[in-house]
Chains A and B, each alone.
Chain A
Amino acid sequence: MELTSHLASQSFPTLPTYDFAASLDKTETQAARQTVGNPFLENPRMTCRDVAVFYGEKEAIRGINIDVGCNEVLAMIGPSGCGKSTLLRCLNRMNDTVPGCRVEGEICLDGENIYDPSVDVVPLRARVGMVFQKPNPFPKSIFDNVAYGPKIHGFTTDKAELDNIVETSLIKAGLWEEVKDRLQEPGTGLSGGQQQRLCIARAIAVSPEVILMDEPCSALDPIATAKIEELIAELREQFSIVIVTHAMQQASRVSQRTAYFHLGDLIEVGPTERIFTNPRHRLTEDYITGRFG
């Protein structure tokens, strides 16, 4: 009796198989840790400097420094709750809609701090588009889904030009051949993979500079995933892409650089090939070899 109650009160650390806390120095867990690898680029599209995000009192990410290059795919990987999606949502200020969310530090798009009070969030989001985890076509026709962005931003009032934008966007998203005969049918009637490509077409239609993708294939089957991955490779020629993914195979297939996040810290960043063949930090190695995560 005595012994068992003693054991119970001494409760063991949270994870029996792999103990994160023990692997970190005590000072390390409190302050932001030095990132392994060079997060900076010569000619970046976006830059993050000392970015920290709080949800209420809780610090979700801290001291993040990372650049997003032009015409590159940056993959962000890491276990759930590591802050990769939080950082992604900071890049077009989608975190503004989350109550109690506070962002510190500086995030620049083409040298301009997007968190500066003078910056209007509406044109910013037109420049930094986003594709979500679950396909979320509007309950409108396929045409109206793609035309939505151009219409609200007043890109054109000319019907022919709008048709042109819709067609180009759908072609770029690799969906045109499948839907060209049924543009007036509802977007929600498409298959999951088609819906996600429709969402990509919708994002492309406002001609952004950066496209953020938050686990864009996690709700799709392997064939639809392969199509989206091909599409990402093509889109890189025109846009900068930041993709959050849980599938490490996917990160290694589609990205040029990979960043590994762990419990709110950016642990390691570098060329994708190097990260996956020769990780320098033990946490990165453990994660990509599947020892946890």
Chain B
Amino acid sequence: MIYSFLLLIILLLGASAYFLGTARAVAVSQQTGGMRSLHSLPSHYGALTALGCVLPALIIYALWQIAEPMILTSMIKGNLPAEMLKLSANEFGLVLNDIRNMVAGNTLSGTGNPAVMAAAEQYISLQTSAGRIVSMVILVTMCVSAATIYSRIDIHLRARNIVEGLIKIAIIACSAVAIFTTIGIVLSVLFEAIRFFKIIPLQDFILGLTWSPQTAIRADQVGSSGAFGAVPIFVGTTLIALIAMAVAIPIGLLSAIYLSEYAHPKFRATAKPLMEILAGIPTVVYGFFAALTVAPFIRDLGMSVHLDVSSESALAAGLVMGIMIIPFVSSLSEDVLHAVPQSLRDGSLALGATQFETVKNVVVPAALPGIVGGILLAVSRAIGETMIVVMAAGLSANLTFNPLETVTTVTVQIVTLLVGDQEFDSPKTLAAFALGLVLFFFTLCLNIIAIRVVQKYREQYE
């Protein structure tokens, strides 16, 4: 509570420091011959004062947030009963945990122990008084540092350079967050995958033909020992992605050609956004569309020609996924087709080529790198797609290329491995990380190729 009030005060002080700094800069400049004699704009001086006021406060606040539990815990340790201090490190940790839980208001395990309750009360009172002290320190620091900068404002102070430098640091920090998050995710997946590969050898995982991740949880339990051959699920993923691309590439590409080359500009302006709406439909909606409409339809259709179609088929999932990625293919391809210079079309038409000959021989080849890039992005989207396949493709890892049978994909297996109560050191759970790693590697390669291809296309026309 005290901290949210403090935050408000920090902001208010920062704002007033801004206006004071600006006013001071204006006043200083008027003594020495007008605004032009100032090194920077008055707002730069204001911003510098405000930053000098707020930044130290935020730094102290952040440091305290990190250090508070450690300092307070060490302070209450001395007051704990002697027999508690003699406990082993693990058990002592549990006691501290109880205290923290009690402080946070969760009185689940520590109820009844008077020593723990006393310690918790002491902790809370320490926390309150420490909060007051820290708030005072922060406010004093703010005033001192703001006043220092304020007194230093004169026409030679290079406020602009300092403020610009601080902005640059802030921008770098933001981009670093994105990059480090990515690296963090990759590394955590990588380390868990390595744990998995310590139990199941890499070649068994990559080359094995059976996927049956159920392992016995207890030693005396009757159950399968588990088989972690990932080939069937990668075959399933590839099969569904292939079906999806077989749907999406022709429809997406041809509709892109129609919109870019044949359609009236007004029609294009309406139809393109409409098509892009397809990309905005949540995949879970596609999922039950696939499971409840398309899959039964395919099964009935198969039965009418005496084909044995399972009610969850790769074909149903692939078809719906294909429809889902049509807008990716069509929208990206349309953009690159539209970017082909009109002079190329004119050149071809002036030689007596028909419109379709022009499209086929000049426009599409000129846009091909961009189209391929768009298709590859759609493929990586298809491989990573989960909801549709969870609902429509099924769970059993059949090693088959028959689109009428049930198959499963990498993403579906990751979902089923991690849903429900799990122990986090069994190969069954760790297999999800291994699958995730391979999937990530797959889509990463596809994306790199796609980006390279798109770049090559850009170089050609700029």
Are B351 and A203 neighbours in the complex by a CB distance under 8 Å? yes
Cross-interface CB contact of A188 among B346, B348, B351, B460, cutoff 8 Å: B460
CB of A129 within 8 A of chain B? yes
- A20 to B: closest C-beta gap in Å: 30
CB of A136 within 8 A of chain B? yes
Known contacts A94-B346, A97-B346, A139-B460; A149/B351 CB under 8 A: yes
- B350 to A: closest C-beta gap in Å: 4
Instruction: Report the Cα distance A124→B353, complex, angstroms.
Output: 11
Instruction: Report the Cα distance A202→B265, complex, angstroms.
Output: 30
Are B344 and A138 neighbours in the complex by a CB distance under 8 Å? yes
Known contacts A136-B344, A188-B460; A97/B361 CB under 8 A: no
- A253 to B: closest C-beta gap in Å: 25
Are A126 and B351 neighbours in the complex by a CB distance under 8 Å? yes
Are A123 and B343 neighbours in the complex by a CB distance under 8 Å? no
B460: chain A residues at CB < 8 Å are: 139, 188
Are B357 and A152 neighbours in the complex by a CB distance under 8 Å? yes
Instruction: Report the Cα distance A92→B353, complex, angstroms.
Output: 13
The 8 A CB mask of B346-375 against A (1 = contact, 0 = none) is: 111111111001000110011000000000
- A140 to B: closest C-beta gap in Å: 7
Instruction: Report the Cα distance A122→B460, complex, angstroms.
Output: 29
Categorize the interface residue count of chain B.
20 to 34
CB of B341 within 8 A of chain A? yes
Are B351 and A206 neighbours in the complex by a CB distance under 8 Å? yes
Number of A-B contacts (CB under 8 A): 69
Are B347 and A97 neighbours in the complex by a CB distance under 8 Å? no
- B355 to A: closest C-beta gap in Å: 9
Classify the secondary structure of B's interface with A.
Answer: helix
Are B351 and A94 neighbours in the complex by a CB distance under 8 Å? no
CB of A153 within 8 A of chain B? yes
- A116 to B: closest C-beta gap in Å: 17
Instruction: Report the Cα distance A169→B272, complex, angstroms.
Output: 43
Cross-interface CB contact of B352 among A132, A139, A152, cutoff 8 Å: A152
Instruction: Report the Cα distance A97→B344, complex, angstroms.
Output: 13
Known contacts A138-B362, A138-B366; A129/B351 CB under 8 A: yes
Segment 314-355 of B: residues with Cβ below 8 Å from A = 341, 343-354
A202: chain B residues at CB < 8 Å are: 347, 351
The 8 A CB mask of A244-276 against B (1 = contact, 0 = none) is: 000000000000000000000000000000000
Instruction: Report the Cα distance A199→B341, complex, angstroms.
Output: 16
Known contacts A138-B362, A138-B366, A140-B365; A122/B354 CB under 8 A: yes
Are A136 and B352 neighbours in the complex by a CB distance under 8 Å? no
Instruction: Report the Cα distance A152→B355, complex, angstroms.
Output: 12
Instruction: Report the Cα distance A203→B350, complex, angstroms.
Output: 8
- A155 to B: closest C-beta gap in Å: 11
Are B350 and A148 neighbours in the complex by a CB distance under 8 Å? no
CB of A134 within 8 A of chain B? yes
Instruction: Report the Cα distance A136→B362, complex, angstroms.
Output: 11
Instruction: Report the Cα distance A134→B461, complex, angstroms.
Output: 14
Instruction: Report the Cα distance A129→B366, complex, angstroms.
Output: 22
Segment 62-119 of A: residues with Cβ below 8 Å from B = 92, 94, 97, 99
Instruction: Report the Cα distance A130→B362, complex, angstroms.
Output: 17
- Which residue of the partner chain B has the closest CB to A121? B352
CB of A125 within 8 A of chain B? yes
The 8 A CB mask of B423-462 against A (1 = contact, 0 = none) is: 0000000000000000000000000000000000000100
Q: Which 4 A-B pairs have the closest CB atoms?
A: A126-B352, A130-B350, A125-B352, A136-B343
* 11 A-B pairs whose Cβ atoms sit less than 8 Å apart in the complex: A97-B345, A122-B354, A125-B349, A132-B343, A136-B346, A139-B344, A139-B460, A149-B351, A188-B460, A199-B347, A202-B351
